[in-house]
């Protein structure tokens, strides 16, 4: 690399954001608006699946004013990258969400995304909505066990064939004929369980980094040959909501979008909704001014740390990571990893455990492939070894290489 | 009325293991066990009187996280180890970091110690509350029966149990109960039951009155709000919840949250609000359930007996769900800054063995071993200490029978969980173990909370050695924690105000990481948790975690020693063999966390590549 290292880093991190262009033009929005309205009218004619009372009454019982509700609807509209004129439609979609049946299955997981769902950040109302959607199967929360649980799922899959959203949490272990994970009295493997559940789904939502890219079980040397949902399920719309765990606001956003439009949101090359993953952490970071000023934390707890300086030198991977956490944060906005002085570990990016999740900047990481398993990931892994000067190229190369690979695979399949 | 499940019918008459073939015995498979973390299966054999005479616990998932940790920088292991579990989130994180700090010989600053206690304390509150209401309560509370309650009587009932606890009820008015009931009535009558669908509603082993059921349902819903507030506490100093991010080898990163009085004030406000719910809803509910289920909790005839099972103990001092009656706590929550294993602890360490509550034995970490006789790993022939454990996965599968079901091969290997032993014995870990060890050891604070509970409930101490007792101990611990955390947050505020903003202890990585080993032994919400790490030239060469649910959910030991879940289930009478209500109630009382419990330690796991899936199967 001929360019001065410091200079090239500076250039990369101060460049215009790779954020997607959110404005699609008036004609587009007018057409979409009409489509949404039509969809909501059709939904209104259906009998509620699950709801026991008027939605607004429920909200008021929970101590929320209609004003608060509209405030939430307006914030959510913005989050979904829609013009403000869509706010009434979003509000209406929320009241109709009880008509979307959701089946949530868990594979090689830690239940972190289920826990995130419970904490449902953003406005308090998220929780109410999630209480009101028709959650047909969710192992961590449902009352029934054993045969009764299996029957509950089979019955829901039959009853809502072609209409339910399937949420998948956890990676899919393919090694040893899939036997690293089994479920049910017949000992069905996770991969068979996933295929069966996906067959009748309207769309499949992979939630969390394990379900999207394999996550921690797929970190080198990937002992169980774990992969993400998109590597297994074909012929269905797939939406990836990565991060460890996924932000519950993004889960709600996807459901809302589905109710609103009857279709899945616009996705990037990694099948992530652009409304959530169109932002680079670094571009919206509250510590960005310190980066621009060259003010860094040099070691944990130093004067820089006490003054909220930039965490890049402590290994923050905000410049490489696309997610909306710098905007919506976590746990009702209480905090986030950069806010707490640690920095970003790139958890919404593919293979982040092997590429990003360490306490040093990439340039001086000196990381080597952990024990075994290098061969099959060597092309992706090579990216992690690039010096800082090559990072920008690396990111784009990675994104396009992976996207290209996926396209190629689809054609072959 | 729940439908009779034809599958279950076929199942229970389908036979199974050696015992199932005789007389009127039936073999039950419960898979998946829901309302837990992870993938767990329980199989049980019941006799002609519907009494469980044998049981096996099996985990059906394997990820291999310890294998993944090998070769990494020890400073990065905490974040990865945390992904062992998203429920007891942050607890593996801290243990991993502490194992490395132990290896490096680092003592963290006072601020870091208090902040870590507050992060773990918040997790205890959140985890215990969510466990009781959202993962366990439906084993005691019949949601459908709540529709028959009289709201006015419900208010009286709520007041009655709150007064037993010495407080006013959290929800006190008939009008409030009526509103909640209307919501449930409409839900049950008109809609699909969603997550409540196909439950065991109407089972005769639900023992609460309709009014008591309504109280339970009302608090279930309210607790959904409260747990969110508790998770905010977790996030203030942790950055986010689940999976916080502020703990590093040497200390914590959240110095700006420590020095900001507004952050500390917010933490205190959320703690106060959470504590109020714990004292005015959670505790009264435990008094109520404890009293209503006291008969079975003190029914000595339903206890696991040693004579039937080689190697197990068995003084029948407890009741239904009592189990092996040996308890262990590593101890946790350092209360001073004298160094890693020298501090005074909130929860003392110790062992109480064989139901003998007259003495406590000291814990010697060298006596901890793991055995794989009944686990899907190749063994070296003898149980091994975690530092030196070498394990090779050896999956032998389930036995598919003509009835279409797959059964555990219980005479051979039958679980991904290993079988940990202390000095060759099976022990139980968790809140009950902590309370029993602390009580017998004479810890003043624990004794005060336990005695207060038993006096107010008017129940003997033996009530603790049961399913209900395990659940009560968790509530007692939650109250204790919510009180002591108020002291800690004041201590943090005072220390920061005094000008001490130190949050990290410096170390020279290349020197301390040259060749060393360390362990992080402490208490997760579910019980004793240990991480062991060996480091050479700055890299991890061996890593192992022995976690609470490994102790509790593990299969038989090398000489047939029965695991804690297995023993706790044996002896229980089920009302309806097709509804595993009593089995899941007892298993839930341990708060299973199965993703935690499964692991492997050796890179030889790569040999599994020989099983590599045919590419055509991967589509």
The full 3-state SS of B296-333, as one line of letters, equals HHCCHHHCCCHHHCCCCCCCCCCCCCCCCCCEEECCEE
Query: How much is the pLDDT for B6?
Result: 30
Q: Is the dihedral of CA A282, A283, A287, A288 positive or negative?
A: positive
Flag if A301 and B613 touch (Cβ within 8 Å): no
Residue B56 has pLDDT above 60, yes or no: yes
- Asked if B492 contacts B115 with a C-beta cutoff of 8 angstroms, the reply is yes
pLDDT, tens digit, 9 for 90 and up, residues A344-357: 999 999 999 998 88
Distance CA A238, CA A228 (A): 11
B143 touches chain A (CB under 8 A): yes
For range A288-296, the mean pLDDT:
88
- Quickly state the pLDDT bin for A16 (edges 50, 70, 90): very low
Name the phi and psi angles at B399, rounded to 5: -105, 110
Choose between B303 and B241: higher pLDDT.
Answer: B241
How far is residue B29 CA from its own chain's centroid?
A: 22
Condensed to tens digits (0 to 9), the pLDDT of residues B113-130 reads 999 999 999 999 999 999
In SS3 terms, chain A reads as CCCCHHHHHHHHHHCCCCCCCCCCCHHHHHHHHHHHHHHHHHHHHCCCCCCCCCHHHHHHHCCCCHHHHHHHHHHHHHHCCCCHHHHHHHHHHHHHHHHCEEEEEECECCCHHHHHHHHCCCCCHHHHHHHHCEEEEECCCCCCCHHHHHHHHHHHHHHCCCCEEEEEECEEECCHHHCCEEECCCCEEHHHHHHHHHHCEEEEEEECHHHHHCCHHHCCCCCCCEECHHHCCCCCCEEEECCCCCCHHHHHHHHHHHHHHCCCCCECCCCCEHHHHCCEHHHHCCCHHHHHCCCECCCCCCHHHHCCCECHHHCCCHHHCECCHHHHCECCCCECCCCCCCCCCCCCCCCHHHHCCCCCCHHHCCCCCCCCCCHHHHHHHHHHCCCHHHHHHHHHHHHHHHHHHHHHHHHHC
Q: Among A79-83, B46-50, B131-135, B494-498, which is the least confidently predicted range?
A: A79-83
> Which residues is B399 bridged to in the sheet?
B407
Q: Where are the beta strands (DSSP E) in B456-574?
A: 515-524, 527-536, 539-546
Quick one: average pLDDT of B176-186? 88
The answer to whether A179 faces chain B, any CB pair under 8 Å, is yes
pLDDT digits (tens, 9 = 90+) for B254-296: 999 999 999 999 999 999 999 999 999 999 999 999 999 988 8
> What is the predicted pLDDT for the residue at B315?
46
Q: Which residue has the higher pLDDT, A392 or B195?
A: B195
Residue with tokens 């509804």: B579
Q: pLDDT tens for residues B497-506?
A: 999 999 999 9
Q: Return the closest-CA partner of residue A72 out of A98, A100, A94.
A: A94
Q: Check CB contact under 8 Å for A144 and B198.
A: yes
CB atoms within 10 A of CB A26: 9
Query: Do A102 and A193 belong together in one domain?
Result: yes
* First vs last C-alpha separation in chain A: 39
Q: Which positions 237-256 of B are in contact with A (Cβ < 8 Å)?
A: 237-246, 248, 250-251, 253-256
Region of residue B90 (left: phi > 0; alpha: psi -120 to 50; beta: else): left
Domain count, chain A: 2
Average pLDDT over residues A190-213: 96
Residues in chain B closer than 8 A to A119 (CB atoms): 227-228, 231, 241-242
What chain B residue is nearest to A132 in terms of C-alpha separation?
B194
Lowest average pLDDT, out of A80-89, A258-267, B183-192, B594-603, goes to: B594-603
* CATH number of residue B151's parent domain: 1.10.645.10
Average pLDDT, chain B: 86
Residues 423-482 on B with a CB inside 8 Å of A are none
Q: Is residue B381 part of a domain?
A: no
Rounded to 5°, the CA angle B450-B454-B456 comes to 115
Residue at which a domain ends, from A276, A305, A321: A276
Domain boundary (A276, A307, A323) is at A276
The alpha carbon of residue A302 is apart from the nearest alpha carbon of chain B, in Å, by 9
- For residue B317, tell me if it sits in a domain: yes
Model confidence pLDDT, tens digit, residues B332-351: 999 999 877 889 999 999 99
Candidate from B88-97, B120-129, B606-615 with smallest mean pLDDT:
B606-615
CB contact under 8 A, A177 and B617: yes
Q: Which residues of B are catalytic?
A: 37, 85, 88, 92, 526, 549, 593, 596
Q: Are residues A117 and A251 in the same domain?
A: yes
Angstrom distance (rounded) from CA B163 to CA B279: 11
Range of the domain at B220: 107-324+442-506
Give the pLDDT score at A413. Answer: 38
**Which two structure tokens, joined as six digits, stand for A239?**
């939406």
In order of A281, A356, A377, the CA distances from A347 in angstroms are: 11, 8, 18
Distance CA B223, CA B138 (A): 14
pLDDT tops 90 at residue B64: no
Residue B433 lies in a domain: no
- Per-residue pLDDT at A371: 30
Q: Are B335 and B345 in contact (CB under 8 A)?
A: yes
Rounded to 5°, the CA angle A181-A185-A188 comes to: 40
Q: What is the residue whose two structure tokens read 């994180």? A: B93
Residues A305 and A266 reside in one and the same domain: no
Domain total in chain B: 1
Nearest Cβ partner of A306 from B143, B238, B501?
Answer: B501
One domain, residues A236 and A287: no
Tell me if B197 is assigned to some domain: yes
The residue range of the domain holding A390 is: 5-18+279-412
In this complex, the residue of B86, B197, B600 whose CB is nearest that of residue A115 is B86
Q: Which whole number is the average pLDDT over B521-548?
A: 94
A30-39, A400-409, B222-231, range with the lowest pLDDT = A400-409
pLDDT at A396 over 50: no
pLDDT bucket at B384, cuts 50 / 70 / 90: confident
pLDDT of residue B135: 92
Whether the per-residue pLDDT at A405 is higher than 60: the answer is no
- Asked if residue B588 is part of any domain, the answer here is no
Q: Give yes or no for a contact between A254 and A241, defined as CB atoms under 8 angstroms apart.
A: yes
Do A207 and A350 fall within a single domain?
Answer: no
Torsion of CA A356, A393, A206, A239, to 10 degrees: 160
Same domain, yes or no, for A233 and A204?
A: yes
**Are residues A254 and A369 located together in one domain of the fold?**
no
**Nearest beta carbon to residue A305 from set B237, B255, B400:** B255
Lowest mean pLDDT among A276-285, A334-343, B125-134: A276-285
Quote the tokens at residue A119: 């904490």
Task: Give the H/E segment covering residue B251.
Answer: strand B251-252
* CB-count exposure of residue A117 (10 Å: 0-12, 13-18, 19+): buried
* Run of H or E residues at B59: strand B52-59
Q: Which helix (H) or strand (E) holds B346?
A: strand B345-347
From chain B, pick out residues whose CB is under 8 angstroms from the CB of A306: 255-256, 259, 501
By percentage, how much of chain A surpasses pLDDT 70?
A: 73
In the prediction, which pLDDT does B617 show? Answer: 20
- Whether B538 is in a domain gets the answer no
Q: Give residue A56's pLDDT.
A: 60
Which of chain B's residues have a Cβ under 8 Å away from the Cβ of A152?
197-198
Are A289 and A390 in a shared domain? yes
As for the ipTM of the complex, it is: 0.88
Residue % of chain B over a pLDDT of 90? 65
Cβ contact, residue pair B191, A135, below 8 Å? no
Alpha helices in B150-260 (DSSP H): 151-164, 174-190, 210-238, 255-258
Lowest mean pLDDT, pick from A237-251, B320-334, B470-484, B589-603: B589-603
Residue A227, pLDDT above cutoff 50: yes
Most confident segment among A18-27, A136-145, A301-310: A301-310
In chain A, residues 33-52 whose CB comes closer than 8 Å to chain B? 48-52
Other CB atoms closer than 10 Å to residue A209's CB: what's the count? Answer: 31
From the list A51, A135, A183, the residue facing B39 with the nearest CB is A183
Domain boundary among A228, A250, A276: A276
CB-based contact, B413 to chain A, within 8 Å: no
User: Average per-residue pLDDT in chain A?
Assistant: 77
Q: Is residue B310 part of a domain?
A: yes
Asked whether the beta carbons of A344 and A318 are under 8 A apart, the reply is: yes
> Smallest Cβ distance to A50: which of B191, B501, B504?
B191
**pLDDT surpassing 90 at residue A69:** no
> What pLDDT sits at residue A31?
87
For the cut 70, the answer to whether the pLDDT of residue A407 exceeds it is no
Residue B568 CA to residue B572 CA, distance in Å, equals 8
Distance to chain A for B217, nearest Cα, Å: 13
Question: How do residues A357-381 score in pLDDT, each as one tens digit?
Answer: 888 876 655 443 333 222 222 223 2
Residues of chain A found within 8 Å of residue B243, distances taken between Cβ atoms:
112, 244-245
pLDDT band with cut points at 50, 70 and 90 for residue A206: very high
Taken in order A269, A271, A272, A273, the sign of the CA dihedral is positive
User: Which CATH number covers residue A298?
Assistant: 4.10.480.10
The model's confidence at residue A279, banded by pLDDT at 50, 70 and 90, is confident
Give the contacts of A330 (CB within 8 A, at least 6 positions apart): A121, A247, A336, B235, B239, B240, B241
B513: tokens are: 């990481």
Choose the mutation target among A99, A113, A145 for the interface with B, i.e. most B CBs under 10 Å: A145
For residues A264 and A315, membership in a common domain is answered with no
> Hunting for tokens 């000023």 — which residue is that?
A293
Q: Give B155-180 pLDDT, tens digit per residue.
A: 999 999 999 999 999 999 999 999 98
Interhelix angle B444-457/B467-497, nearest 10 degrees? 140
The reply to whether A271 and A285 lie within a common domain is no
- pLDDT exceeds cutoff 60 at B605: no
Distance CA A366, CA B577 (A): 59
Residues A259 and A293 in one domain: no
Residue (of B80, B86, B82) closest to B68 by Cα position:
B80
Distance CA A269, CA A396 (A): 11
Query: Residue A66's domain is classified under what CATH number?
Result: 3.40.50.700
Q: Which two tokens stand for residue B58?
A: 């099996």
- A57 has a pLDDT exceeding 80: no
Position with higher pLDDT, B264 vs B607: B264
pLDDT at A400: 31
Are A177 and A315 found together in one domain? no
pLDDT of A390 higher than 50:
no
Give the mean model confidence (pLDDT) for residues A287-293. Answer: 89
């Amino acid at each position: 690399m001929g360019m001065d290292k410091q200079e090239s880093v500076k250039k990369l991190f101060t460049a215009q954001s790779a954020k997607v262009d959110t404005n699609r033009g008036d004609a587009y929005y007018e057409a979409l608006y009409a489509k949404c309205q039509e969809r909501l009218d059709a939904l209104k004619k259906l009998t509620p699946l699950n709801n026991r009372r008027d939605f607004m009454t429920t909200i008021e019982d929970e101590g929320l004013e209609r004003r608060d509700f509209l405030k939430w609807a307006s914030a959510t509209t913005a989050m979904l990258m829609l013009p403000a004129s869509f706010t009434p439609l979003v509000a209406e979609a929320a009241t109709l969400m009880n008509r979307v049946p959701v089946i949530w299955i868990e594979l090689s997981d830690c239940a972190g995304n289920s826990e995130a769902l419970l904490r449902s950040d953003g406005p308090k109302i998220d929780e109410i909505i999630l209480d009101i959607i028709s959650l047909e199967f969710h192992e961590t929360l449902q009352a029934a066990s054993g045969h009764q649980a299996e029957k509950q799922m089979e019955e829901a899959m039959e009853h809502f064939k072609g209409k339910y959203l399937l949420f998948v949490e956890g990676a899919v272990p393919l090694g040893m004929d899939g036997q690293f994970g089994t479920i049910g009295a017949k000992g069905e493997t996770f991969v068979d369980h996933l295929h069966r559940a996906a067959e009748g789904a309207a769309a499949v939502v992979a939630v969390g980094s394990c379900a999207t890219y394999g996550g921690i079980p797929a970190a080198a040397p990937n002992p169980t040959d774990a992969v993400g949902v998109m590597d297994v399920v074909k012929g269905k719309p797939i939406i990836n909501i990565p991060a460890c765990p996924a932000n519950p606001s993004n889960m709600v956003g996807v459901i809302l979008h589905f109710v609103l439009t009857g279709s899945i949101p616009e996705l990037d090359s990694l099948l992530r909704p652009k409304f959530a993953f169109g932002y680079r952490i670094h571009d919206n970071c509250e510590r960005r001014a310190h980066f621009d000023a060259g003010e860094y934390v040099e070691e944990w707890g130093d004067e820089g740390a006490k003054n909220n300086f930039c965490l890049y030198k402590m290994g923050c991977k905000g410049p490489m990571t696309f997610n909306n956490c710098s905007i919506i944060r976590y746990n009702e906005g209480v905090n986030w990893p950069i806010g707490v002085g640690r920095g970003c570990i790139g958890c919404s990016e593919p293979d982040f455990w092997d590429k990003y999740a360490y306490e040093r900047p990439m340039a001086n990481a000196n990381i080597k492939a952990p024990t075994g398993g290098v061969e099959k990931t060597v092309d992706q892994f090579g990216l992690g070894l690039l010096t800082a000067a090559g990072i920008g190229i690396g990111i784009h190369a990675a994104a396009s290489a992976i996207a290209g690979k996926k396209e190629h695979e689809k054609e072959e399949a | 009325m729940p439908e009779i499940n034809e599958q279950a019918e076929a199942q229970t008459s389908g036979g199974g293991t050696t015992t199932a073939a005789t007389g009127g015995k039936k073999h039950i498979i419960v898979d998946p066990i829901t309302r837990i973390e992870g993938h767990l299966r329980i199989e049980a054999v019941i006799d002609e009187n519907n009494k469980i005479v044998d049981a096996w616990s099996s985990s059906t998932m394997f990820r291999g996280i310890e294998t993944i940790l090998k070769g990494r920088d020890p400073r990065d292991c905490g974040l990865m180890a945390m992904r062992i579990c998203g429920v007891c989130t942050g607890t593996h994180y801290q243990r991993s970091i502490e194992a490395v700090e132990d290896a490096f010989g680092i003592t963290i600053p006072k601020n870091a110690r208090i902040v870590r206690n507050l992060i773990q304390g918040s997790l205890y509150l959140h985890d215990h509350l969510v466990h009781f209401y959202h993962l366990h309560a439906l084993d005691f509370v019949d949601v459908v029966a709540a529709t028959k309650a009289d709201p006015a009587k419900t208010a009286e009932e709520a007041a009655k149990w709150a007064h037993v606890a010495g407080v006013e009820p959290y929800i006190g008015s008939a009008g409030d109960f009526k509103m909640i009931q209307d919501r449930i009535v409409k839900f049950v009558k008109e809609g699909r039951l969603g997550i409540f669908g196909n439950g065991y509603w109407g089972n005769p082993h639900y023992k609460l009155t309709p009014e008591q059921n309504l109280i339970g349902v009302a608090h279930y819903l309210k607790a959904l709000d409260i747990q969110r507030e508790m998770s905010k506490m977790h996030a203030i100093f942790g950055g986010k919840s689940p999976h916080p991010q502020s703990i590093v080898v040497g200390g914590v990163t959240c110095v700006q949250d420590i020095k900001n009085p507004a952050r500390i004030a917010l933490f205190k406000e959320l703690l106060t609000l959470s504590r109020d719910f714990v004292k005015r809803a959670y505790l009264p509910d435990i008094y109520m359930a404890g009293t209503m289920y006291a008969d079975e909790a003190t029914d000595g005839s339903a206890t696991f007996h040693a004579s039937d099972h080689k190697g197990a103990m068995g003084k029948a001092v407890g009741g239904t769900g009592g189990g092996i009656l040996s308890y262990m706590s590593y101890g946790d929550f350092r209360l001073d800054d004298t160094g890693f294993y020298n501090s005074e602890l909130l929860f003392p360490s110790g062992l109480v063995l064989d139901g003998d509550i007259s003495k406590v034995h000291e814990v010697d970490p060298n006596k901890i071993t793991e055995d794989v006789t009944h686990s899907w790993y190749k063994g070296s022939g003898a149980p091994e200490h975690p530092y030196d454990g070498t394990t090779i996965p050896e999956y032998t599968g389930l036995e598919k029978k003509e009835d279409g079901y797959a059964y555990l091969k219980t005479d051979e290997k039958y679980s991904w969980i290993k079988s940990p032993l202390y000095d060759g014995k099976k022990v139980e870990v968790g809140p009950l173990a902590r309370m029993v060890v602390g009580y017998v050891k004479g810890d003043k604070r624990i004794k005060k909370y336990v005695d207060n509970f038993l006096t107010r409930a008017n129940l003997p101490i033996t009530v603790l050695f049961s399913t209900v007792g395990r659940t009560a101990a968790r509530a007692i611990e939650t109250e204790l924690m919510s009180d002591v955390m108020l002291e800690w947050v004041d201590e943090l505020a005072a220390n920061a105000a005094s000008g001490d903003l130190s949050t990290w202890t410096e170390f020279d990585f290349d020197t301390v990481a040259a060749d060393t080993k360390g362990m992080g032994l402490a208490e997760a919400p579910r019980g004793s948790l240990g991480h062991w790490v060996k480091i050479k030239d700055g890299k991890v060469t061996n890593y192992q975690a022995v976690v609470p649910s490994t102790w509790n959910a593990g299969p038989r030991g090398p000489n047939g020693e029965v695991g804690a879940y297995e023993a706790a289930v044996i002896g229980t009478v089920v009302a309806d063999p097709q509804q595993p209500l009593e089995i899941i109630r007892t298993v839930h009382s341990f708060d299973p966390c199965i993703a935690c419990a499964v692991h492997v330690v050796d890179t030889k796991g790569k040999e599994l590549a020989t099983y590599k899936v045919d590419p055509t199967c991967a589509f």
